[in-house]
Amino acid sequence: MEIAAHLRREAQAVNERRLLVLTGTPKQTRVRALEAIRAAAISAQDTVYLGPEPIDGAINSDYSAFTHISPTQYQTVLGSTQEAVILDCHDRCEPNILGGVTGTVAGGGLLLLLVPPFDQWVETRDGFDETLAVPPYSTADVGTTFRERLIATLKVHPGIAIIDAETRSLEKTGLTNPPPRLPTEELVPPETRLFPTSAYEACLTQDQQDALFALEALETEPAAVVIEAHRGRGKSSVAGLASAALALDGADVLVTAPKRTHANVLFEQATTYFESVGEISPQENTAQSHGTDTIVTVAGGRIRYVPPQKAKALPDDPDCVIVDEAAGIPVGTLSSLLSCDRLAFLTTVHGYEGTGRGFAVRFRERLVDSRHAVTDISLLEPIRYASGDPLEVWSFRALCLHGRPPVAPAIEDATVESVEYRSLSPATLQQNEPLLQELFGLLVLAHYHTEPNDLARLLDAPNVSVHALLYDGHPVSVALLAKEGGLSETVRRAMYEGRRVRGNLIPDLLASQLRDESAPKQQGYRILRIATHEAVRSRGLGSHLLAQLRERALSETTASDWLGVSFGATPRLISFWEENGFRTVHLSTSKNDRSGEHSAVMLDPLSEAGEPLLARHTDWFYRRFPATVSDSLSTVDPDIILAVCRATAGQVSPDLTTFEWRILSGLGNGAAIFETAPRAVRQLAFQYLTDPTISTETLLSATEERLLVMKALQARPWEVLRDELGYHSRAATMRALGAAVDKLVVEYGDPTIQADRERLRK
């Protein structure tokens, strides 16, 4: 395995990485991988193997010396640095895993991919393909575009060697004969600085020093620093140095991240720095490796890890909060942290816990509107390997990690009249690399969580289709659709009985949670993603694309019954979907782990079967929603409840007794009180909130509508309403509710009630 030694020497000479692809049977590729590691003089202790266990036959004992990790547990190595990684792709070739472990290989190291012969690999269906084959499809229906594209990049990119493990033939050397690199310039700390010089001397790149200098803003308040970088740029390390510098001044630094392992590098860097300057408290266990989540300094400062759900309460009132992998934490939780004066958010561009740019889009508005002075900084220079590393260039292209939406000047003149609607097949995207990169970049920019697996999904999942509006060949608006439903009686019965059926979110919800066993029989399209370029928003392009999708679905030979969508509910998004013909049938009672918001489900019926589906679920929604709002949704933003109700199909007809109407007629002048008949107020409020024909003359003010929701539907205490809505007293709040209800009595009450109401006001 002489080529492995050559690759290793070349990589070490220029601090780059190299990739060795071994094709053949599982056993032969594993044998050749052992030979390659030995030839490259890499120790077993410095090698990680991601693959099945046990390894077959005689090589089992040799592989047992490696650090073995199941491929599905790849996140446990993220943030670490490895001399060699062996990724066994025979049973599972998953883009997230490939991208994640590639970033852990150090400069001078090797990544080894074990794969079937290329011609067989294209047609082989594996564990990841099974996740794409959602019912009623099978793995035979899964496409091959992603794998064809991956193989093509392996064949043409420099720094990648390919060996036939069966014949030992070298099909591609991967040697690049790189020129010697110029010596790295010595780093010089800024002349005026608050953090110790030793902290700057611990930085490995100018980017890190710049980031550390930006983090000095946390010595003053209020301030927020946002650091964005691809993996391997040292953002967690520099955050560890900043945390240490702050703790040396006696600050209490709270660190949070989606998982404790995501903060390992930060704690390790802080511990190493403390030990180098002799400033650590001997009374405390100090590092994660010692089994603690707290480091305490001699000066009394500390760095402590707290999980996100607990961190949002800012326990023990920390001086500073540092959030690592912020893109993996719900926006609602991040917003809670804004109560702290000194904040830092670290985000990974195209990360596997969340997407940095999506984080910026979703959270940026709240951060800018806060009282914090915001500083943004990006880290570009890698620290594990040299800039221009061929392995990074390859992985970025293969996984669209450098995908960017079109530049604004190229599409800024796009209008509804000038764009072209197209349904983009996998073959079209495969043949047009710039279009694929721009399209995927647009999805990344617009959505909170887009990952490499999504690239394979949009190319190969049999139920997913890609649609776009193009301007001069560039995507300005894009949508991903997933075909759902059309399921057999057997599958429908299983759904109803509680078995989850992958890839059928809306049919599953309707059948299992909402107890409609027949719903999955109807076939529809769920809109997985829709994104419009920020340079051309508010021009109706998103709505135009939805109209094209509706027209296309109606024109199909086998007509679909509905279009549907599930999303993290905000008033703006609900209004967008309502304006485009979608109607609410569900609002989840718990928050989504990714978005941190309650998920709304909305439908747009397309067929004679779709209309009654919407009608019955609207009726069931009306029946259950008022009680749900007063219980599990009692603390939800009232504007969300308002928007959800406004976006329903039809109107509630309250079932009120004569007694209840009399109570309602007496609320306006104080003759009756809310507590006597809260059900009546709830019923009347729900009628108003779902009334699509309400006249503008009788519409309540925004404050009155919030009051109606918060008291009549959510049953919040009077004191809470007084404080949140700005009333002077409890009595004033009660009078305001009575006045609002009185307007509704005038609008909806029958003549008998109107007479009773007028009598009370004489």
**One-character DSSP codes across 435-502:** HHHHHHHHHHHH-S---HHHHHHHHH-TTEEEEEEEETTEEEEEEEEEEEE---HHHHHHHHTT---T
pLDDT at 290: 38
Say yes or no to pLDDT of 282 above 60.
no
Indicate the fold that domain 413-426+448-626 takes in CATH: Aminopeptidase (3.40.630)
Cα-to-chain-centroid distance, residue 261: 19
Supply the DSSP symbol for 534: G
Q: Do the domains 2-172 and 205-379 sit in the same CATH topology, yes or no? A: yes
Residue ranges per domain, the chain? 2-172, 205-379, 413-426+448-626, 658-760
pLDDT at 288: 38
Residue 86 bridge partners (DSSP): 49, 112
2-172: CATH number = 3.40.50.11040
Query: SS3 letters for 551-591?
Result: HHHHHCCCCCCEEEEEEECCHHHHHHHHHCCCEEEEEEEEE
Question: Among residues of the chain, what percentage have pLDDT more than 90?
Answer: 73
pLDDT at 16: 96
Tell me the per-residue pLDDT of 5-28, one tens digit each, with 9 for 90 and over.
999 999 999 999 999 999 999 999
> How far is Cα 739 from Cα 708, in angstroms, rounded to an integer?
11
Tell me the per-residue pLDDT of 573-607, one tens digit each, with 9 for 90 and over.
999 999 999 999 999 999 876 667 899 999 999 99
Residue 444 and residue 406 in contact, taking contact as beta carbons nearer than 8 Å: no
Q: What does the mean pLDDT of the chain come to?
A: 90
Both tokens of 495, joined, read: 């759904």
pLDDT at 280: 63
Do β-strands 464-471 and 420-424 pair in parallel, antiparallel, or remain unpaired? antiparallel
Mean pLDDT of 617-627: 94
Residue 1 and residue 38 in contact, taking contact as beta carbons nearer than 8 Å: yes
Place of tokens 């078995």: 499
Kindly list the distances between the CA atom of residue 42 and the CA atoms of 83, 114, 246, 762, in Å, as whole numbers in the listed order: 7, 18, 39, 95
**One-character DSSP codes across 347-415:** EETT-SS--HHHHHHHHHHHHHHSSSEEEEEEE-S-SSS-TT-HHHHHHHHHTTTT--PPPHHHHTT--
Within 10 angstroms of residue 715's Cβ, the number of other Cβ atoms is 13
205-379 placed in CATH 3.40.50.2000: no
pLDDT at 287: 39
Say yes or no to pLDDT of 74 above 60.
yes
Under the banding of pLDDT at 50, 70 and 90, the label for residue 291 is very low
Predicted TM-score of the model (pTM): 0.88
Q: Give which of 285, 352, 300 is closest to 325, Cα–Cα.
A: 352
Residue 125 and residue 106 in contact, taking contact as beta carbons nearer than 8 Å: no
Both tokens of 90, joined, read: 């025979």
Using only the alpha carbons of the chain, give its radius of gyration: 30
Tell me the per-residue pLDDT of 683-707, one tens digit each, with 9 for 90 and over.
999 999 999 888 656 689 999 999 9
Mean pLDDT of 527-546: 95
Mean pLDDT of 478-484: 97
Both tokens of 602, joined, read: 């909305």
